[in-house]
Amino acid sequence: MESIVTERFIKEVFFLGIHKIDDYYAIYAAIMPYFNEIVNLLTITILKPRFGISLFYHFTTNFHQIIVNSIVTLLSISGILANSVRIANRYTSDMGLLVGMMFTIFSFLIPNIFMYDFLKLFKNNFVKFIAGLLVIYILDVIIHLIVYLYRINVLEREGEKNSRG
C-alpha cells in the first residue's frame, strides 16, 4: 500500500500529473498558466538578444507593448481558469477554487514579481533560460503538492466518512 501511495505522490507531484493529460483541453490547462513566463523567458534569453524581437515587455512604455502584454496575460489567465474548471468538474468546486488560487499565486503572481530580477542574476542567456525553466518547474511542483495534499487529506477523508455513513 505504501509503495502505491509513494508512486502516486511522485507521479502527481514531481511528474506534475502528466499521466492525467489525456486531451487537448488538459494540454492547454497544463501549459497556459505559465504562458506569460515562458514567453517572457524566451524574450529575455533568446528572442531579444538574438533577433531583437520582444513578445513580452516586463515594463511597458507604449500602447503596442500594453496590447502585447495584455494578450499574453489573457492567455495565461485562461489557462488558470481551465485548470480551475477541470478540477471543479472532476472533484469539487472548493477544490477548483483552491487550484485557481494556487495557479494565480504560483504561476502568475510570484513569477511576475520575481522572475525578471532573478534572471538578472545570471549573465549567460542559456543559464538564464535553464534557471527560469527550473523556477517554473518548482512553482508547478508546489501547486501539485498543495493540490495533492488537499485531495488526500480533505477530499479522500470526507469520502471515507461519507462511505461509513
- pLDDT value at residue 7: 86
If DSSP states are collapsed to H, E and C, what string results for 54-98?
CCCCCCCCCHHHHHHHHHHHHHHHHHHHHHHHHHHHHCCHHHHHH
The pLDDT of residue 82 is above 90: yes
pLDDT tens digit sequence for 93-137: 999 999 999 999 999 999 999 999 999 999 999 999 999 999 999
Q: For 49-76, what is the mean pLDDT?
A: 94
- pLDDT value at residue 145: 95
pLDDT tens digit sequence for 12-60: 899 988 888 889 999 999 999 999 999 999 999 999 999 999 999 988 9
Residue 8 confidence class, pLDDT cut points 50, 70, 90: confident
